[in-house]
Chain A
Amino acid sequence: TQLLEQSPQFLSIQEGENLTVYCNSSSVFSSLQWYRQEPGEGPVLLVTVVTGGEVKKLKRLTFQFGDARKDSSLHITAAQPGDTGLYLCAGGNTGNQFYFGTGTSLTVIP
């Protein structure tokens, strides 16, 4: 059973459009991370959020942790081809393991 479900699974948009990726769970997490993965590489951390309701911005990317710490969203403004990749959320629990979501594959068309 996957603890974290992401939606959509695939997303193809034109350069300049905005998009939102969702990460949902029925479990409460002590922290929520977002990673980005390029083909043939391992995931690389983008951000960590630890407080319910927390919002973090990283240039054109905005990350939010749900108030109940069960869900998160990633919003990209004015997407660029360089944003293409697989986006993964990961929840941390009190047992100190990271559980990853199902992933969202984003393609930004020039």
Chain B
Amino acid sequence: IAGITQAPTSQILAAGRRMTLRCTQDMRHNAMYWYRQDLGLGLRLIHYSNTAGTTGKGEVPDGYSVSRANTDDFPLTLASAVPSQTSVYFCASSVTGTANTEAFFGQGTRLTVV
């Protein structure tokens, strides 16, 4: 059972470079999310998508973009990475975008911007 797969697992990236974090789910969930996790700040929502073809901004969207061309994939792009984007990034999905459904998380991508 794969669930949600994130790639890469970790990455060291030079500041100013472009980077796409990949996220694929095989559960046919409608909603998908991207979070970043920093010590003392918990998980902060970056972008979300309630269904294929739609996206929305979360708490900390600046410097990030997403697309949702199909149900399974939800890539997160950093157009020009900065050191403050050093973090652990988690992709998640849920059956629907309603607030009381369970979110399933990937294993995370540890990104270091130098």
Contacts and interface: CB of A to CB of B under 8 A. Distances in A.
A96 B50 contact: yes
Contact of A102 (B41, B50, B58): B41
Interface stretch (A14-22, A37-45, A56-64, A77-85): A37-45
B108 A102 contact: no
Contacts, number: 82
A45 B101 CA distance: 10
Given A43-B43, A102-B42, A31 B105 contact: no
B107 A48 contact: no
Nearest to A41: B107
B4 to A, nearest CB: 8
A4 B41 CA distance: 10
What is the size category of the interface that chain B forms with chain A? 20 to 34
A42 B43 CA distance: 11
A97 B33 contact: yes
Contact of A96 (B41, B44, B97, B102): B97
Interface in A90-107: 90-103
A64 B99 CA distance: 17
Interface in B43-90: 43-45, 48, 50, 56, 58-59, 90
Interface residues of A, number: 33
Given A6-B42, A88-B42, A98-B33, A42 B90 contact: yes
B102 A45 contact: yes
Contact of B103 (A40, A45, A103): A45
Given A6-B42, A97-B56, 5 more contacts: A29-B99, A40-B108, A42-B92, A88-B43, A100-B35
30 contacts: A4-B42, A30-B99, A31-B100, A33-B100, A33-B103, A41-B105, A41-B107, A41-B108, A42-B90, A42-B104, A43-B43, A44-B105, A48-B102, A88-B42, A88-B43, A90-B43, A90-B103, A91-B99, A92-B99, A92-B100, A93-B99, A96-B97, A96-B98, A97-B48, A97-B56, A97-B97, A98-B33, A101-B42, A102-B40, A102-B41
